[in-house]
Amino acid sequence: MAEEKITLDKEVFKTLASGTRIEILKSLDRRRKTLSELSKELGMSVSTVKEHLDNLVRVGLIEQKDEGYKWKYYELTKKGKSILHPEDKKIWILLGISGIAFIGIAYDLFRILHRPFLAAAPQTVLKEAGRYGAEVVSEAPYPPYLHIAGLLIFGLLICVSFRHVLSKRGPGPKNSF
């Protein structure tokens, strides 16, 4: 999987140096908004907010969506979202790896617990198996404590990762940037 790189050049840094532009990014992180909504929310004139929006559009942090209606909406681009939430990609990677490990450990545990136990077989079966060169298992299988611990750990990681992802999508302001 190729990692996407976010280039922060001199213009992006200049744009992000303004507290108003950061507030606009945070506001657009909650949902897309019109120029008048942002103006009202920030308590600034429409022309001042428009100037800030133009700067954010120019460096590629937000985009203007014209869907053929009277109002034009502004929303974050991928680059803007990545700047506000750089940890999201790492959470998805952790979630994927934990899921794969969980499935692998669960499969191995299932395989261990459901294999035929030759120790419980009658002696004639054991003799026949030995005659044909088969390996004879005469002891009970070990308790799979490591498998159970692995399932618990990776299950917990999956739950924590999902909780983090879902809390980012919930209502209310986000505590980022």
Percent of the chain scoring above 90 in pLDDT: 14
CA distance 101 to 98: 5
Same domain? For 17 and 51 the reply is: yes
Percent of the chain scoring above 70 in pLDDT: 72
- Residue 127, pLDDT above cutoff 80: no
The enclosing H or E element of 56 equals: helix 46-58
* 73 is a domain residue: yes
| Farthest CA pair distance, the chain | 93
Q: What average pLDDT does this structure show over 166-172?
A: 60
Phi, psi dihedrals of residue 132, rounded to the nearest 5°: -90, 10
* 18 is a domain residue: yes
Q: How many structural domains does the chain have? A: 2
CA distance 153 to 162: 14
Same domain? For 117 and 159 the reply is: yes
Same domain? For 73 and 96 the reply is: no
- Residue 166, pLDDT above cutoff 60: yes
On whether the CB atoms of residues 28 and 75 are closer than 8 A, the answer is yes
Same domain? For 27 and 97 the reply is: no
Same domain? For 24 and 54 the reply is: yes
Q: What average pLDDT does this structure show over 145-158?
A: 82
- Residue 177, pLDDT above cutoff 50: no
- Residue 146, pLDDT above cutoff 90: no
Query: Which residue segment(s) compose the domain that 55 sits in?
Result: 10-83
- Residue 163, pLDDT above cutoff 90: no
- Report for 2-16, 121-135, 145-159: range of highest mean pLDDT: 145-159
CA distance 97 to 66: 39
Tell me, what CATH number does 42's domain have? 1.10.10.10
**pLDDT top residue among 6 and 152:** 152
**pTM more than 0.85:** no
Same domain? For 16 and 68 the reply is: yes
Q: What average pLDDT does this structure show over 60-68?
A: 86
What confidence score (pLDDT) does residue 174 get? Answer: 47
* 5 is a domain residue: no
Least confident among 96-100, 140-144, 152-156: 140-144
Q: What is the mean pLDDT of the chain?
A: 76
> Is residue 43 very low, low, confident or very high in pLDDT (cuts 50, 70, 90)?
very high
- Residue 73, pLDDT above cutoff 80: yes
Could you list the beta-strand ranges (E) of 35-146. 62-65, 73-76
